[in-house]
Chains A and B, each alone.
Chain A
Amino acid sequence: MLVDGIIFSDESLFATDESSKALEQVANVATLPGIVKASFAMPDIHWGYGFPIGGVAAVREEDGFISPGGVGFDISCGVRLLKTSMIASEIEPDLKSLMHELSRNIPKGLGRKGKISLNQSELEEVLDKGIEWARKRGFASKDETNRIEESGRLAGADPGAVSKRAFDRGASQLGTLGSGNHFLEVQEVTEIFDSASAKAFGIFKGQLMVMIHSGSRGLGHQVCTDYVKVMDGVVKRMGLTLPDRQLASAPIASPEGRNYYGAMAAAANYAMVNRGLLAFWAKESFESTFSATAKEMGIELLYDVSHNLAKFEEHVVDGKQMKLCVHRKGATRAFGPSLLPKDSPYKEIGQPVMIPGDMGRASYVLLGTEESEERAFSSTCHGAGRVMSRTQAKKSIGLDQLRKDLEERGVIVLAGQKSTLAEEAPGAYKDVDRVTLVCEGAGLSRRVAKLRPLGVIKG
């Protein structure tokens, strides 16, 4: 280990991690060449492949290594939150028809193709320009750009470093939700923890919100697959021994490292456009259900941020300003005011961080603070974190019990793949209340609002 492993947790959360392989993975990440400060784990940490999920590692730009496994297969998987000016309790009679309209309008699940089909050069433009492409095509408005991480376009994207196979997988999947833990939820704000920040974000109790959780689909998965193989070759050539082959990495400055970064950034741009399209169709569904314009319903983007990404950022380490490549795998960037760009609408208070919980309980909006900079390179948790394997969840919870449970909680769930719905049952996850409380207690981020799911669209 080149640096320490630091895990943010509390007694009860840690009890489920203690015996897990996730801790070993925190130690493994601490061997990544060029790593500084520590190999960090957020309170929602769980066993992944290579890196733990909930892992944060920053390496020096000049001599560090970049690892596709430190980003994950779903490059720029992330969350987009739309706010409305509507009161959740007032739309209750129309909730069912809204959910059915959303379900009809949002392509989801596997085997469902997107509603738009792009040729190679258009897809290259998506990968190069990100949300700028969506704006040009009328899928995003100008005022949205500064409400997206990196203004909706991650610099350094190189569509030329993306394989034909990745293009093949991504061509028909742009604007699709995907399956597994991805979702679109209609939510109600049930609790405000920090009224000044909530006010600055335009969040109030009882408000109707729309949360979208999706990523870069098959395109990103293939970019990761391709480059893990490439870097596996680099590791072999350099004669390195890794504690886990999935930790394959290459010097950032090497052709392989540069190509991976270019391809990863391109996949991130695809992911941001993907969430943008899903949001556009969600807005359309609101308009047709309520026979009103998005503007009349006050539908606006709060923020879009990813939780699987490696990025070049400047941070202070041991009192020294350093250029770093920060890997966040299942961890969210939580910038305080000083790190946000000048044109950010959140420059005064810090960045909103959206934490999707599970479909029965709750999700959160947190705030990036100056203090989070001092903890783990301005990173916080990304979700509740799994405690139960998928098979275990299906066996011990079961579809019928889940249905009953969600019905009692008053949550409408529309799922493409019913047989695996139980894998995502609330009991399969850690308690998101506790996870976010630990984040606040540790100074990683501050709680602003809690949101309750009313309706869920699953792949």
Chain B
Amino acid sequence: MESEKKESRPRPFEVIEHTADVGIIGYGGDLKEVFENTAIGMFSLITELNAVSKDLEIQVEVEAEDVEGLMVAWLNELIYLFETKGVLFKEFDILELSEEGLRAVARGEELNPIKHEIKTEIKAATYHMLKVESEKERLKSRVIFDV
């Protein structure tokens, strides 16, 4: 069911398979980069990011009880912003990050049905099989989404 491809070349993220749903493994040299890449991975499931510009900027602040919970809270906040403000995000700058909170800037473009195709509707990021851990010299996340 789950296939985590092992490759030597560092990639920002990978899509993992799950029978009903879908997941993302995000990579990064540090924790900020892992959070940024996992979010890019999630939006790549939603739409083709090449067709999205980054003219619009939104500030994001999230809190949680631990770093893995923070990852879920961060992604769920972005899903909430996408659904309520209609913004597709493609670039993220994590400005501050601790185990219990983060402050970031997310950039993207307002959804335009003529220009953007929505590939997948993501209902939520789940805690199922959730991981934020170090692997060799880099850090890695794993998140399963309900789609």
Q: How far is the CB of A263 from chain B (nearest CB, A)?
A: 15
Q: Is the CB of A221 within 8 A of B124?
A: yes
A interface residues, how many (CB within 8 angstroms): 49
Q: Is the CB of A390 within 8 A of B147?
A: yes
A73 to B17, CA, bound (A): 19
B54 interfacial contact with A, CB 8 Å:
no
B136 interfacial contact with A, CB 8 Å:
no
Q: How far is the CB of B40 from chain A (nearest CB, A)?
A: 18
In the complex, chain B residues 23-63 whose Cβ is within 8 Å of any chain A Cβ: none
Q: How far is the CB of A112 from chain B (nearest CB, A)?
A: 8
Q: How far is the CB of A52 from chain B (nearest CB, A)?
A: 10
Q: Is the CB of B120 within 8 A of A420?
A: yes
Q: Is the CB of A49 within 8 A of B144?
A: yes
Q: How far is the CB of B51 from chain A (nearest CB, A)?
A: 12
Q: A47-B1, A225-B124 are in contact. Are A417 and B117 (CB under 8 A)?
A: yes
Q: A20-B1, A165-B80, A168-B80 are in contact. Are A73 and B123 (CB under 8 A)?
A: yes
In the complex, chain B residues 1-35 whose Cβ is within 8 Å of any chain A Cβ: 1, 15, 17-22
B83 interfacial contact with A, CB 8 Å:
yes
Which residues of A have CB within 8 Å of B18? 47, 389
Q: Is the CB of A72 within 8 A of B146?
A: yes
Q: Which of A53, A245, A390, A419 has the largest number of chain B CB atoms within 10 A? A: A390
Q: Is the CB of B127 within 8 A of A248?
A: yes
B111 interfacial contact with A, CB 8 Å:
yes
Q: Which of A72, A222, A236 is in CB contact (< 8 Å) with B80?
A: A222
Q: Which of B76, B111, B117 is in CB contact (< 8 Å) with A419?
A: B117
Sample of 20 more A-B contacts, CB < 8 Å, known A47-B20, A111-B113: A21-B1, A47-B1, A73-B123, A74-B123, A74-B146, A109-B121, A111-B111, A165-B84, A221-B123, A228-B127, A232-B69, A232-B127, A246-B128, A389-B17, A390-B21, A390-B147, A391-B15, A391-B22, A392-B17, A459-B121
Which residues of B have CB within 8 Å of A236? 65
Contact with B along A10-51 (1 / 0, CB 8 A): 000000000011100000000000000000000000111110
Please give me the 8 A-B residue pairs with the lowest Cβ-Cβ distance, nearest first: A49-B128, A245-B127, A389-B17, A246-B128, A221-B123, A47-B19, A179-B121, A73-B123
In the complex, chain B residues 74-123 whose Cβ is within 8 Å of any chain A Cβ: 76, 80, 83-84, 86, 111, 113, 117-121, 123
Q: Is the CB of A110 within 8 A of B20?
A: no
A169 to B22, CA, bound (A): 22
A392 to B15, CA, bound (A): 12
Q: Is the CB of B21 within 8 A of A49?
A: yes
A168 to B85, CA, bound (A): 10
Q: Which of B83, B118, B124 is in CB contact (< 8 Å) with A73?
A: B124
B132 interfacial contact with A, CB 8 Å:
no
Q: Is the CB of A110 within 8 A of B121?
A: yes
Q: How far is the CB of B76 from chain A (nearest CB, A)?
A: 5
Which residues of B have CB within 8 Å of A228? 126-127
Residues of A whose CB lies within 8 Å of any CB of B are 20-22, 46-50, 53, 69, 72-74, 109-112, 165, 168-169, 178-180, 218, 221-222, 224-225, 228-229, 232-233, 236, 244-246, 248, 386-392, 417-420, 459
Q: How far is the CB of A399 from chain B (nearest CB, A)?
A: 12
A178 to B118, CA, bound (A): 12
Q: How far is the CB of A265 from chain B (nearest CB, A)?
A: 19
A242 to chain B: closest residue by CB: B127
Residues of B whose CB lies within 8 Å of any CB of A are 1, 15, 17-22, 64-65, 68-69, 72-73, 76, 80, 83-84, 86, 111, 113, 117-121, 123-124, 126-130, 144, 146-147
Which residues of A have CB within 8 Å of B86? 111
Which residues of A have CB within 8 Å of B126? 49-50, 69, 73, 228, 246
Q: How far is the CB of B93 from chain A (nearest CB, A)?
A: 23
Q: Is the CB of A169 within 8 A of B69?
A: no
Q: Is the CB of B65 within 8 A of A109?
A: no
Q: How far is the CB of B111 from chain A (nearest CB, A)?
A: 5
Which residues of B have CB within 8 Å of A111? 86, 111, 113, 118
A313 to B128, CA, bound (A): 28
Q: How far is the CB of B78 from chain A (nearest CB, A)?
A: 12
A194 to B64, CA, bound (A): 54
Ordered by A's residue number, 5 sampled pairs between the chains whose C-beta atoms are within 8 Å are A49-B126, A111-B86, A179-B118, A179-B120, A232-B69
Q: How far is the CB of A261 from chain B (nearest CB, A)?
A: 19
Q: Is the CB of B118 within 8 A of A169?
A: no
A110 to B84, CA, bound (A): 11
B80 to chain A: closest residue by CB: A165
Q: Is the CB of B22 within 8 A of A386?
A: no
Q: How far is the CB of B49 from chain A (nearest CB, A)?
A: 14
Q: Which of A109, A221, A244 has the largest number of chain B CB atoms within 10 A? A: A221
Which residues of B have CB within 8 Å of A53? 20
A386 to B65, CA, bound (A): 34
Q: Is the CB of B84 within 8 A of A169?
A: yes
A222 to B64, CA, bound (A): 16
Q: How far is the CB of A225 from chain B (nearest CB, A)?
A: 5
Q: A49-B128, A180-B121 are in contact. Are A389 and B22 (CB under 8 A)?
A: yes
A109 to B72, CA, bound (A): 24
A72 to B123, CA, bound (A): 10
B82 to chain A: closest residue by CB: A110
Q: How far is the CB of B114 from chain A (nearest CB, A)?
A: 11
